[in-house]
Each structure stands twice: as C-alpha cells, then as structure tokens.
Amino acid sequence: MREISTLINEYLDCCENSKKLSPDTLKAYRIDLGQYGDFAGESWAERDTLSRYVMHLNRRFAPRSVKRKLASVRAFFSELEFNETIDANPFDKLHLKIQYPRQLPRTIPEDTVRGLLQSAYDGYDPDRRETLVDIAVLELLFSTGLRVSELCALTPDTFSLSESSMRLLVRGKGRKERVIELTTAEIISLMGTYTLRYSAEIAAQNAILINRRGRPLTPQSVRRIIHKHLQRVGSPGNITPHMFRHTFATSLLEAGMDIRYIQSLLGHSSISTTQIYTHVSTPHQSQLLAEKHPRGKMSFKL
C-alpha cells in the first residue's frame, strides 16, 4: 500500500488546483492530515487505527476541534475511495458521536464599539497612513460583518465607491460570493479620502487596506489595531475581529431584520448557522413583541 504522506500531498494538490479550495482551508487540511499521518503510520487505512485516533483526539482537543479534524480526514478518505485508491472508506463502519456545548456568540457592548471608534478618530493624523487605516478597519468590521480574512482580501476589483454608496464583492468560505452595499455618508467619505490619498499603493499592492510598511494588511495586523485601541480606552477583556461580526448580526436581528437577510449578508450557506443569533437576542424579543405584535394594540376588560 502507498505511503500516506504521498497520498496526502496528491490530495492537497487536487484540493488546490482542481477543487480550488481557499488557502485557509488548504492550511487546515495540511495540518489535520499531517497529524493523522504521523499518528497512523503504515496502518493508516485500517478502521481500528482510525478508532484509536478518535480517542487520541478526544483526550487532547476540544470537541469542536475534534470534529473539524475528523472532517478533514473523512474528506481525504472519501477522495481515496472515489479514486479507487482504497476499497472501502474506514469511516463507513465507524460510529461517531461528538457532543459539545453550544457556545453563544460573544458580542461587543455598543458603548465599547463607540469608544474604539472614537479612539481611532481621535488618533487621526493626516501625515500617518496607519491612523486612517485604523479607522477604516474598525468602521468596516462594525458596519459590514466581514470575516477578518475577507476584510484583508479586499482588492480594487472587489471594492467600488461612488458619491452615495460603497459596494463590496466578498468572496467567503467555499469561494461563495456575496455583495454588501453601504450608504452611510461618513463611511463613504472616509473611504473616499483613504482610497484617493493612497491610490498608488493600493494599485501596486492590489489590496485596499495597506499597512504602514506599504504591504497588504494581515489578520494579525487587524488584531493589533483592535488591541491598541482597547488599551487606549482602558477597556478590559479581549475583543477579536470575529466578535465584530457577531455584534453586526445580533444588532441587525434585534433591530427586527429578517434572519434570511442576515444570512445573506453574513454569507452563511445554511440558515441553521445564522439561527444561533436568535439565542443571543432573546432578551430583546419581548420588547419587539410588545412593539410589533397587534395584540399590543388591543384592550379587553373582565
């Protein structure tokens, strides 16, 4: 039987060149399959080996990570079975039941978001590009619900600006595309100033957001920007870029937007993924019912 390392490399080549998977997905597959290959050795195609690997993962990782790693290995075996490299998929007779607690999305209090934005605007210096980038990053995260990878991937081809609107063509997970359009005058003015002032660098780097060294902004740079302004406002705790996405979705839901519109804005394939936000906004539901439901306009007496 062929060595698993060779088969993994061939599979990753297929994922990159034929399936056109994203760099982030390829990176995760490479890590997950490499770990399985190191564990399994020559008995990599045996069901008992896979069963022991599940126990190995459960002792070392959180349930969510176990589920993701096994999904990577399952996809690998499915491809091998499809290509008739193996006779049967060892997952087929493996009973898996991974339970993990539902983790509600962590959102950012509105006053904290306001403080972060105020800090960025207060620090603006027209002679320092990074101060304008700080404002743009925080505004876009809060106003669009973009994933940090999607934010950093914006290019002149996927970003358009007019006097009255800003339009983003976002390529999300699985290379699914969605369009987000903003009409907030302050954000349009901000991005107009930024893109006009640094048009040469944007064109040279083929990226909208540029760091102080003239290179495209990275997710790690975005995290540093958030942390910097958290320190300036003296806010406790840790805020991640993804929490802006959660805050975006929850705020829209609490404002009464239909969950299917939110699903479209977030780029979720399944409505079930978006529905987790209904749990976060439960305290607001009673207020919406009181304001919107026709029963509130009726009065009866015994």
Q: pTM for the whole thing? A: 0.66
* Annotated catalytic residue, options 129, 229, 245, 246: 245
* Annotated catalytic residue, options 147, 194, 229, 246: 147
Look at residue 161 in the predicted model and tell me its pLDDT.
93
The model's pLDDT over 38-54, given as tens digits with 9 standing for 90+, comes to 999 889 988 889 989 98
Q: Pick the residue with more confidence: 198 or 102?
A: 198
Q: Do the Cβ atoms of 201 and 212 come closer than 8 Å?
A: no
Residue 124 annotated as catalytic: no
290 vs 168: CA distance, rounded Å? 36
| Phi, psi at 170, each rounded to 5° | -105, 130
Look at residue 67 in the predicted model and tell me its pLDDT.
87
Domain ranges of the chain: 4-82, 110-281
> Any idea which fold 4-82 has?
DNA polymerase; domain 1 (1.10.150)
* Annotated catalytic residue, options 56, 74, 173, 228: 173
* Annotated catalytic residue, options 171, 178, 242, 284: 242
CATH superfamily of 110-281: Intergrase catalytic core (1.10.443.10)
- Give yes or no for residue 282 having a pLDDT over 60: no
Look at residue 255 in the predicted model and tell me its pLDDT.
80
Identical fold, 4-82 and 110-281: no
Residue 121 annotated as catalytic: no
Task: State how beta strands 177-182 and 159-161 pair.
Answer: unpaired
* Annotated catalytic residue, options 11, 36, 198, 277: 277
Residue 147 annotated as catalytic: yes
The model's pLDDT over 144-173, given as tens digits with 9 standing for 90+, comes to 999 999 999 999 999 999 988 899 999 877
Residue 293 annotated as catalytic: no
Residue 245 annotated as catalytic: yes
Residue 173 annotated as catalytic: yes
